[in-house]
Structure 1
Amino acid sequence: MRKNLFISCRFLMSQVFRRYQKDARINQSTNLNVDLPSCLIPSMKFINNLKSDEQLDKLAKLLAELEIFSMINEKLPCELSDEQWEIYLHIEKTQDRKQFLNAAHFEEILTKESETSNAMRTERDLICENGHMAYSPEHHCLLRLIGSDLRSNLSQWYSFAMVPPGHGIISSVDFIQDNGFEIYQALSTLFLDSLWVLNFGVEIFVHYEEFQECIDNSYGSRILAAKRCDEGPLRLFIDMRCLHKMPLFYQINLLRQVQSIHRDNWSSRHPFEIAVVNFRANDHDAAVIKSDWKFLVGPKGNEEQDIVDIQDALDSSDFSKTIRSYIPHPFIPTISTRSVRENLNGLAPDDIAYISWDATQFLERPLNRYKGFVLCATHEKYAAASSLYCARREGMNAFRPPFHRHIRWSVVRRGAMDIVANILRMVYHDDVDWDIALNTIPSSFFEHKVYKAKEEEKTKRRLQLETLQEAGALYDRRLIDISSIRNNRQRRQGRKKMHKYSREERNMARANVAKICYNE
């Protein structure tokens, strides 16, 4: 009995002591021997929820690191919420933490600009209501196609004016049914990010709900047409196996490219059947999905809604309903935590070509002997996350597209899954050569990288030349210093000694003296 009582008392004392240590650490962290604004420091509720001493120690280190960042003029946000601290606490690398803080900083800037824009819009509305002229896209303009308003203003009718010579005004319904894809491609290419006045040569009145429904029906009908008679559409797998082995910046870039791939696929006459595989999302991935994957969460995010647990719902058919009431298209990309082999759905692994830039085999034409392709969401400079490593883990054949025969693909190959997907689609369905398909690469994207590489090479040569010139000048100065030292030494030697007799005469005299001394 005494033994049990002793053990219980000892246990209670240890718990009290640990609690005392935790309170001491909390006080040390919150009294905060750090020179930081209070809005950057986590709340007491967040600190009390930290259960282990390791987390408290890490919090203290991160606060000290934040102070150092502020001292070296890093771009820091004005405020960090507890949700952001929860993500920040689990970021391991210092470089990733800096990128996270920079992203939060620019997000605050965009939020402030949006608030300022809304205030100016309200002021312009009041000016317009009072009968004065208001200069803005919402007032006194024929057409408004800017940003997300194209999707949000569902009740607005858009007018595309100008009647072609010899034609009358054409009704919207027939024209959109016949030319829906051309209209969408023009809109997605020119008008989604800026304000333009559209001239199609005809006058069309478009209700956006009807327009979107027309494109959705065309996209779905092409998928179903490819599936008839067991002729499945070309499969495209996006392998996310090594996504979390890379820095945060690359993860965000690769996740956003999934939306770009779907956007191009939605307007294509030969759409892929897309599957995102090996995807195990964390909290940060869920935030990117919520803001960027419009095909899944809808055209406009709900800022008041909390991030759902995406990891548990990836393979669920009701996943979209758990996010919001938005109902996505039935043929959006499939999102799965399973591997590529488990998502083949009856296809043989030999029918799939795994795209890798380190593969020894080239992907030669014709491509119609394959029924699908795998693009790896990775950056090739990381050996542990290379596409060849992922292909071997899947047990699939890796092939390298022969882009290097036609262009300097090394300047654009990393992080360009959407471009590669469009090139593969064109070579597969149109049966064109690689050089023709490679002309679809956006010139601005390619030329910017080439221009940057040329500028870096020019800067490198200029620095080398300056270094050589400086080294030559330093060498000349050293030669001058050495010559001056030699001249001083010669002046200190004084007058040169001259002998009265030559060496031969002196030697002969010495010999004669020695001979006389020897005879005596």
Structure 2
Amino acid sequence: MRMRRQSECHIVGGATRASGANPLESLVNKAQMNGMGIALRRISQPCRRFLSTVSTLSDESTALSKMMPSENFVKQFIKRPSHRDKLSSLVSELDMFLDLFGKDSLPAFDDSLWTTYFQTWSAEERCEFLNDLRQEQKKANTPAPVPEGEKASESVISLINQRREENGEMVYAPGFHSLLELRGQEFREVIDNMYGSRLLSMRRCDENLPKLVVDCRFLSEFSVAVQSTFARQIQALHDGNWTSRQPFDISLANFRPDSQLAKIVKRHWFFHYGPPSAGTSFSPHAFAPTLTTKSVVDACSVDRSDVMYISWRARQFLPEDAPPNIRAVVLCASNDYQPWSSSVSAAQKDGITAYRIPVERHIRFEGHSKVLPLSTTSSILRYYFRGEDLGSAIRKSVFLPAKNSRLSEKEEREVFERYKAVVQEAIARAESHSTHKRTKKPSDMPKKPKVHRYSREERRRMRAMETSSRDLSSSS
């Protein structure tokens, strides 16, 4: 029994003590065997019929072991038994999520993702965070759609080039011989130079587009999933602006991040912090988007009458022709789902006129959100301020997914809603069980049998001896 106890792994006070076992593997086993993991497994059985494929047990164990936190994370954050219980519950949630959506549905969890995931206390926010990561991973793994004609022509061209090379001819094409081939850091340096030269030439020729300001006043109040969504949208906004022939001068106003938001933007904003491969050698571009705590009006550096605020809830539509006095345009990092995060109220507070892009006049939305991403909105505004027709600008910039993809998204959303309900129900059961144990009255506890130190005869003999000794002392 003692040898068996010594072979187990214990995580106490943030340090790991193991004898012949990996602490993270034992944590996986504990997460799969603890009460919450059992509850999740029991409730999740009806969800399995929505799956097209179900991973084998070995695949699940391998996928889950790849998602486990490092030992440094365990030493830093797992310092109490409650922390250990929470980590095992989070591993159970991850295990079921991978079981439902596939072992490759989530990116590899590093310590940065684990820190955000571990410090998110709301179960609903954790579920949304995982679903947001799944959608990001799905977009990264989905190749860009290519028309069938172009696919056929590309295959024919590559086949012809292969035959020409086999015949001894000199072939200049990607994968064969290239006069100029830029990849990685060299490609980024060339685009950086082009991006800077275009901005400088537009300023010198007085052909500047209006300054583009992103209002981030509500960003720190959102959940982790919404913060991650807008962080990626702002990075995509810079990427589209970075390669555009007519780039905007972008500023992020009212940016006051807390510790959670700071970790999220550091993971997504490559234009400011650099890619992970750059390390500490990265320096931001001179014309990269500016992060400031200033208000919208101060960041625009122009009069309020020369500023245009774009809101999807505004009552006034954009005019067909761009007003000549506009020197700055403001986009709000908000979905306008709640009154407290309304972009219309933000515009009214700053004394700026709010306008709405008439997307519904030119695009038919069938079950899609009418709130467009920031990069799509900036593309519409770029065409608009270049003097093109507003309807043409909207049709060139807005792309809606096909119907079959909408059906798959609907099914995935149903599975995700069931997963979220399962997690919330399991956590509610665990909390009610722990609350019942804490609030149990002393009268409800079973009484322990009273064990006397001496038997009844011994106690009588001792009392008799005490009485006799007392009588002797009194008589003397």
TM interval, short-chain normalised: 0.5 to 0.7
Counterpart secondary structure, 2:205:
helix
Is the contact made by 1:219 and 1:266 (CA closer than 8 Å) also made in structure 2? no
Question: Which residue pairs with 1:438 in the alignment?
Answer: 394
User: Which one of the candidate residues 311, 320, 328 is aligned to 1:372?
Assistant: 328
Q: 1:23 to 1:405 in 2, by over 3 A?
A: closer
Q: Distance in 2 between matches of 1:455 and 1:214?
A: 38
Q: 1:106 to 1:434 in 2, by over 3 A?
A: closer
Counterpart secondary structure, 1:255:
helix
User: Which one of the candidate residues 121, 135, 140 is aligned to 2:176?
Assistant: 140
Code of the residue aligned with 1:260 in structure 2: it is A
User: Which one of the candidate residues 417, 424, 441 is aligned to 2:374?
Assistant: 417
Q: Distance in 1 between matches of 2:281 and 2:326?
A: 37
Determine which structure has greater relative contact order: mean sequence separation of CA pairs < 8 Å that are 6+ residues apart, divided by chain length: 2
Is the contact made by 1:254 and 1:415 (CA closer than 8 Å) also made in structure 2? no
Code of the residue aligned with 2:237 in structure 1: it is I
Question: Which residue pairs with 2:419 in the alignment?
Answer: none
Question: Which residue pairs with 2:157 in the alignment?
Answer: none
Is the contact made by 1:275 and 1:334 (CA closer than 8 Å) also made in structure 2? yes
Question: Which residue pairs with 2:116 in the alignment?
Answer: 87
Matched, 1:234 2:210: yes
- Structure of greater Rg: 1
Q: Distance in 1 between matches of 2:180 and 2:259?
A: 36
Q: After the TM superposition, which residues 92-491 of structure 1 pair with which residues of structure 2 at under 5 Å, given as runs?
A: 92-101=121-130, 140-142=176-178, 150-153=183-186, 213-214=193-194, 216-226=196-206, 233-281=209-257, 285-286=261-262, 289-290=265-266, 292-298=268-274, 300-302=275-277, 305=279, 324-326=281-283, 328=285, 330-345=286-301, 347-366=302-321, 367-408=323-364, 411=368, 413-430=370-387, 432-442=388-398, 445-448=399-402, 452=406
CA drift of 1:452 comes to 3.0
Is the contact made by 2:112 and 2:263 (CA closer than 8 Å) also made in structure 1? no
Q: 1:408 to 1:143 in 2, by over 3 A?
A: farther
- Segments of structure 1 that go 5 or more residues without pairing to the other structure are 1-21, 113-131, 155-207, 306-322, 457-520
Q: Distance in 1 between matches of 2:192 and 2:113?
A: 36
Code of the residue aligned with 1:253 in structure 2: it is T
Question: Could you state the TM-score of these two structures normalised by the residue count of structure 2?
Answer: 0.54
Counterpart secondary structure, 2:329:
strand
CA drift of 1:83 comes to 4.3
Q: 1:49 to 1:351 in 2, by over 3 A?
A: same
Question: Which residue pairs with 1:495 in the alignment?
Answer: none
Aligned-CA RMSD value: 4.7
Q: Distance in 1 between matches of 2:319 and 2:331?
A: 17
Residues 198-248 of structure 1 deviation map (CA, whole Å, 9 limit, x = unaligned) = xxxxxxxxxx96676355323322134338xxxx75111111222244444
Q: 1:429 to 1:153 in 2, by over 3 A?
A: closer
CA drift of 1:35 comes to 2.7
Residues 152-208 of structure 1 deviation map (CA, whole Å, 9 limit, x = unaligned) = 356xxxxxxxxxxxxxxxxxxxxxxxxxxxxxxxxxxxxxxxxxxxxxxxxxxxxx9
Is the contact made by 2:220 and 2:227 (CA closer than 8 Å) also made in structure 1? yes
Q: Distance in 2 between matches of 1:80 and 1:240?
A: 27
Q: Distance in 1 between matches of 2:174 and 2:245?
A: 34
Q: 1:216 to 1:246 in 2, by over 3 A?
A: same
Counterpart secondary structure, 1:98:
helix
Moved more, 365-374 or 96-105: 96-105
Counterpart secondary structure, 1:35:
helix
Q: 1:447 to 1:90 in 2, by over 3 A?
A: closer
Q: 1:352 to 1:64 in 2, by over 3 A?
A: same
Code of the residue aligned with 1:390 in structure 2: it is A
Is the contact made by 1:42 and 1:80 (CA closer than 8 Å) also made in structure 2? yes
Is the contact made by 1:222 and 1:269 (CA closer than 8 Å) also made in structure 2? no
Q: Distance in 1 between matches of 2:245 and 2:133?
A: 39
Q: 1:398 to 1:67 in 2, by over 3 A?
A: same
Q: Distance in 2 between matches of 1:275 and 1:281?
A: 15
Question: Which residue pairs with 1:60 in the alignment?
Answer: 85
CA drift of 1:374 comes to 0.8
CA drift of 1:391 comes to 2.6
Q: 1:245 to 1:144 in 2, by over 3 A?
A: farther
Q: Distance in 1 between matches of 2:400 and 2:138?
A: 29
Q: 1:103 to 1:358 in 2, by over 3 A?
A: closer
Moved more, 352-361 or 379-388: 379-388
CA drift of 1:265 comes to 3.1
Q: 1:64 to 1:237 in 2, by over 3 A?
A: same
User: Number of paired residues?
Assistant: 326
Counterpart secondary structure, 2:400:
helix
Matched, 1:35 2:10: no
CA drift of 1:388 comes to 2.2
Is the contact made by 2:220 and 2:256 (CA closer than 8 Å) also made in structure 1? no
Q: 1:378 to 1:69 in 2, by over 3 A?
A: same
Moved more, 62-71 or 348-357: 62-71
Is the contact made by 1:246 and 1:378 (CA closer than 8 Å) also made in structure 2? no
Q: Percent identity?
A: 25
Code of the residue aligned with 1:150 in structure 2: it is R
Q: Distance in 2 between matches of 1:80 and 1:327?
A: 26
Q: 1:61 to 1:370 in 2, by over 3 A?
A: same
Question: Could you state the TM-score of these two structures normalised by the residue count of structure 1?
Answer: 0.50
CA drift of 1:141 comes to 4.7
Q: 1:69 to 1:419 in 2, by over 3 A?
A: closer
Is the contact made by 1:240 and 1:276 (CA closer than 8 Å) also made in structure 2? yes
Question: Which residue pairs with 2:20 in the alignment?
Answer: none
Question: Which residue pairs with 1:497 in the alignment?
Answer: none
Counterpart secondary structure, 1:91:
coil
Q: Distance in 1 between matches of 2:393 and 2:400?
A: 14
CA drift of 1:340 comes to 0.7
Counterpart secondary structure, 1:34:
helix
CA drift of 1:65 comes to 4.5
Q: Distance in 1 between matches of 2:362 and 2:134?
A: 41
